[in-house]
Amino acid sequence: MAEWGFYGRAAELADLQGILARGRWFFARITGRRRIGKTTLIEHALRTAGPRDALYVQIPDSAPAGVLSAVADAMETFEVDPSAFPPPRSLQELAQLVGKLAEAGYVVALDEFQYFSRKHLYEFTSHLQATVDGLSSRASSVPGGLIVLGSIHTELVALLEDRSAPLYNRTTDHLELGHLDLASILTILRAHADEEPERLLFLWNLFEGVPKFYRDCFEQGVLDADRRALLRAMFFRSSSPLRTEADNWFLSELRGRYDVILKFLARRPGCTHADLVDHVKSMSPGTEEQVGGYLKVLVERYRMIERRLPIFSKPTARKGRYYLRDNFLRAWLSSLANSVAAINFKPLDRLVEQSDLRLHESEGFGFERLVAHLYAERSRRGLAGFALSHRIDGFWDRGETEIDLVAVNEDDQVIRFGSCKRTAARLRPDLPRFDRHILQFMRLNQRYEGWTLEKVAIAPELRDQDERRAIQALGYAPQDLRDLTHDL
* Residue among 257, 363, 337, 368 nearest 304 (CA): 257
- pLDDT tens for the chain, 488 residues: list them: 689 999 999 999 999 999 999 999 999 999 998 899 999 999 999 998 877 899 999 999 999 999 999 999 999 999 999 999 999 999 999 999 999 999 999 999 999 999 999 999 999 999 999 999 999 999 999 999 999 999 877 788 889 999 999 999 999 999 999 999 999 999 999 999 999 999 999 999 999 999 999 999 999 999 999 999 999 999 999 999 999 888 776 666 676 668 888 899 999 988 889 999 899 888 877 777 688 888 888 888 888 889 988 877 777 777 888 999 999 999 999 999 999 999 999 999 999 999 999 999 999 999 999 999 999 999 999 999 999 999 988 777 655 557 899 999 999 999 999 999 999 999 999 999 999 999 988 988 889 999 999 999 999 999 999 999 999 999 999 999 999 999 99
| Same domain, yes or no: 374 and 329 | no
- Give pLDDT, residue 464: 94
The pairing of beta strand 390-391 with beta strand 452-458: unpaired
* Residue among 154, 182, 171 nearest 29 (CA): 171
CATH number at residue 468: 3.40.1350.10
| Same domain, yes or no: 20 and 140 | yes
| Same domain, yes or no: 25 and 161 | yes
Number of separate domains in the chain: 3
CATH number at residue 122: 3.40.50.300
Q: Report the distance separating Cα 216 and Cα 245, nearest Å.
A: 12
Q: Kindly list the distances between the CA atom of residue 406 and the CA atoms of 123, 351, 370, 387, 453, in Å, as whole numbers in the listed order.
A: 50, 38, 14, 13, 11
CATH number at residue 291: 1.10.10
Flag whether 3 is in a domain: no
Flag whether 389 is in a domain: yes
Flag whether 232 is in a domain: no
Residue 97 contacts residue 70 (beta carbons within 8 Å):
no
Flag whether 407 is in a domain: yes
- Give pLDDT, residue 218: 97
| Same domain, yes or no: 440 and 382 | yes
Q: Report the distance separating Cα 98 and Cα 100, nearest Å.
A: 6
Chain centroid to CA 402: 27
* Residue among 381, 389, 335, 398 nearest 361 (CA): 335
Q: Cβ neighbours of residue 66 under 8 Å, at least 6 residues apart?
A: 60
Which amino acid belongs to residue 253?
A: E
| Same domain, yes or no: 403 and 461 | yes
The pairing of beta strand 414-420 with beta strand 405-409: antiparallel
| Same domain, yes or no: 146 and 269 | no
Q: Kindly list the distances between the CA atom of residue 367 and the CA atoms of 68, 204, 211, 371, in Å, as whole numbers in the listed order.
A: 46, 9, 20, 6
Of the residues 176, 204, 221, which one is the last residue of a structural domain? Answer: 176
DSSP state of 334: I
Flag whether 239 is in a domain: no
| Same domain, yes or no: 270 and 165 | no
Which amino acid belongs to residue 168?
A: Y
Q: Report the distance separating Cα 349 and Cα 246, nearest Å.
A: 22
Of the residues 127, 159, 176, which one is the last residue of a structural domain? Answer: 176
| Same domain, yes or no: 137 and 254 | no
Q: Report the distance separating Cα 28 and Cα 133, nearest Å.
A: 14
- Give pLDDT, residue 185: 98
Q: Report the distance separating Cα 323 and Cα 304, nearest Å.
A: 9
- Give pLDDT, residue 48: 87
Of the residues 282, 311, 333, which one is the last residue of a structural domain? Answer: 333
Flag whether 22 is in a domain: yes
Q: In the chain, helix, strand, coil percent, each to 5? A: 50, 15, 35
- Give pLDDT, residue 281: 87
- Give pLDDT, residue 68: 98
| Same domain, yes or no: 297 and 398 | no
Q: What is the domain range of residue 112? A: 10-176
- Give pLDDT, residue 349: 96
Which amino acid belongs to residue 141?
A: S
C-alpha angle 125/131/135, rounded to 5°?
135
Flag whether 213 is in a domain: no
| Same domain, yes or no: 377 and 478 | yes
Residue 319 contacts residue 395 (beta carbons within 8 Å):
no
Residue 236 contacts residue 352 (beta carbons within 8 Å):
yes
| Same domain, yes or no: 54 and 135 | yes
What are the strands, taking DSSP E only, across 32-127? 54-58, 107-111
Flag whether 468 is in a domain: yes
| Same domain, yes or no: 396 and 295 | no
